[in-house]
Structure 1
Amino acid sequence: MSPRPGPSRPGFFIFESFKIKKARRSGPFSFQGRTAN
């Protein structure tokens, strides 16, 4: 099990989907700010 995040991780897509869902609620700026960092 590698600690680095990646598509090989089973929960990767779920986490991304959850992040996008949360970002849509907060707004596009929050999502872009998080992805930029």
Structure 2
Amino acid sequence: MSAKHVEQIQTIQVEQAVREKTLLEEVESQFCTKAAE
């Protein structure tokens, strides 16, 4: 495994984590909106 390969993997993992966090926040905000009604 070259250093560049490791960097690419870390970048992908960070992007996935950000995407999951964004999805979770969207779901939570929708859930809170429905619960408030």
Q: What interval of TM-score do these two structures reach, taking the shorter chain for normalisation?
A: 0.3 to 0.5
Structure number with higher relative contact order (C-alpha < 8 Å, ≥ 6 residues apart): 1
Question: What is the TM-score with the length of structure 2 in the denominator?
Answer: 0.47
Bigger radius of gyration: 2
Question: What is the TM-score with the length of structure 1 in the denominator?
Answer: 0.47
Which structure carries more helix by proportion? Answer: 2
